Structure 1
């Protein structure tokens, strides 16, 4: 693998690390199976690319795209909390609706960003190559997002969200408004995904209606791989684990697709993803089996 391919894998891995942080919040902390991600990711890209193409400041466009993602997650939570629609079904309905919404926003299947300003080229230092600067800036953004999540989930409201996901009945008994916590958690989760979509559109030179396909699978893969590498119940290590998982996942994807002796092509991406997730799921079971075999036999009672 060339240095260019390696840095590209790290860059995309860091972008999807934001998605993984959002998925960690919804799936692991809130226990909400959220498929809105497949719609809020291209929503962030659609809003950002459309605003930039119309002359908006890239930082403003990125912020608006993040808010659009938060709104999508809020509506999904509202469907579940207020209208009593099952959580999985509510997210599926929102994901389907966002496909049409994204087409409306872009006015077509895609919006190119050829010579338009982005947060990457506006902040790029003189003399630093583009393929070096993008991963560096993405790393800084991901670190800020991780630290913000670590801080938030140590606050009273963040702990209330975690309590809602762990045991909603007990949380209500403690006076926590679990419905409001679901709405807040879903908004934060999809805001991170919308931010990732906006940054992805700026790195890839435009937004496309199909860019969200399989986003939830990638996010789950990053969470599962990260938990297999760094198992921990502490939120500080959990957020770090999913970031590492996203980078490792993209690295192995790039390695598999760039290895001529394997013979894989771009259309094999979903197959590689399925194999990696399966391996990550099997590893913890193998560890438990090995530990069980190493334990000495318990003394038999007389």
Structure 2
């Protein structure tokens, strides 16, 4: 149970990244399936090379950031559809990740990781460790709230709401889109780096289907908390990541086959999509629920097309 909560909090970092593209930019980005593994593989190899865990984690952020830039350039400069641009980058990252890890799996072993201090203090796997992780994720969430409240952040939010309008004011939407994709995948890569250190290995397949987990986290959290204020919208996705992991944990505890977890995820997303309509909750930052539901379904249909 405690381990599930810890993993849910770590995945909250990934959910924040998906939130930036899916909710703020209104861009269903499938790059995350690849950038998550890129961050994990980069951090694992850096730790094996003797890097400080903090630097290894930042390296995971950096490689994810670069992956997001590639998707952004394909979409903005190459004029490739956003969904297809993400798929192309994600596919290319499979080979890149194999090159980074020099194989399909990289065990970290007993090397020092970001979680070693917690483990040595006897806090990892306890509620004390959960409290520390909660504070860390909350601080990261506050950074996201602060960034989205700056002039640049407001430009990014305006790009997602009405790109042609904000472009008429002289804002480069190509830049705001590319930067948001880069930051989003940077956070996803950092999450991958943390998961690799938490589990002591990186694997080439660990990012498969992650976009569904991210979308489920965002939709579940924002179906529960009001989205009329930015701070609530941001922390809702962290809550959603935690709730998603707890629901999966409960499903396994009651005897469901692990092979059924994809179906469970699909049912969770369907329920989360319908819940705002039943409750009459507004959509993203106060949009009407019908419009939000339609946007959610378009993004999920893109994810389904990639899975197919």
TM-score by length of structure 2 reads 0.88
2:96 corresponds in structure 1 to 101
User: Distance between the aligned counterparts of 2:32 and 2:130, measured in 1?
Assistant: 23
Q: Does the alignment pair 1:277 with 2:269?
A: yes
> Is contact 1:66–1:191 with CA below 8 Å preserved after alignment?
yes
User: Distance between the aligned counterparts of 2:8 and 2:75, measured in 1?
Assistant: 31
2:9 corresponds in structure 1 to 14
Q: Does the alignment pair 1:91 with 2:83?
A: no
List aligned pairs for 1:104-143, cutoff 5 A. Answer: 104-122=99-117, 124=119, 126=121, 128-132=122-126, 134-143=129-138
User: Distance between the aligned counterparts of 1:249 and 1:202, measured in 2?
Assistant: 21
> Is contact 2:61–2:186 with CA below 8 Å preserved after alignment?
yes
> Is contact 2:118–2:129 with CA below 8 Å preserved after alignment?
no
Q: Does the alignment pair 1:188 with 2:178?
A: no
1:21-50 C-alpha deviation (Å, 9 max, x unpaired): 111110111111100000000110000001
User: Distance between the aligned counterparts of 1:58 and 1:86, measured in 2?
Assistant: 37
User: Distance between the aligned counterparts of 2:131 and 2:104, measured in 1?
Assistant: 30
Q: Does the alignment pair 1:62 with 2:62?
A: no
1:296 corresponds in structure 2 to none
> Is contact 1:120–1:137 with CA below 8 Å preserved after alignment?
no
**Unpaired segments ≥5 residues, structure 1:** 1-5, 290-302
Instruction: For residue 269 of structure 1, report the CA deviation from its aligned partner.
Output: 1.4
2:242 corresponds in structure 1 to 247
Query: 3-state DSSP class of the match of 1:130?
Result: coil
> Is contact 1:253–1:269 with CA below 8 Å preserved after alignment?
yes
Question: RMSD of the TM alignment (CA)?
Answer: 1.5
Instruction: For residue 140 of structure 1, report the CA deviation from its aligned partner.
Output: 2.7
User: Distance between the aligned counterparts of 1:245 and 1:274, measured in 2?
Assistant: 15
User: Distance between the aligned counterparts of 1:274 and 1:166, measured in 2?
Assistant: 27
Instruction: For residue 167 of structure 1, report the CA deviation from its aligned partner.
Output: 0.4
User: Distance between the aligned counterparts of 2:48 and 2:12, measured in 1?
Assistant: 26
Q: Does the alignment pair 1:230 with 2:225?
A: yes
If you compute each CA radius of gyration, which structure gives the higher value, 1 or 2?
Answer: 1
User: Distance between the aligned counterparts of 2:119 and 2:103, measured in 1?
Assistant: 30
1:159-207 C-alpha deviation (Å, 9 max, x unpaired): 0000111101000111111111111111111111011000000111100
> Is contact 2:32–2:90 with CA below 8 Å preserved after alignment?
yes
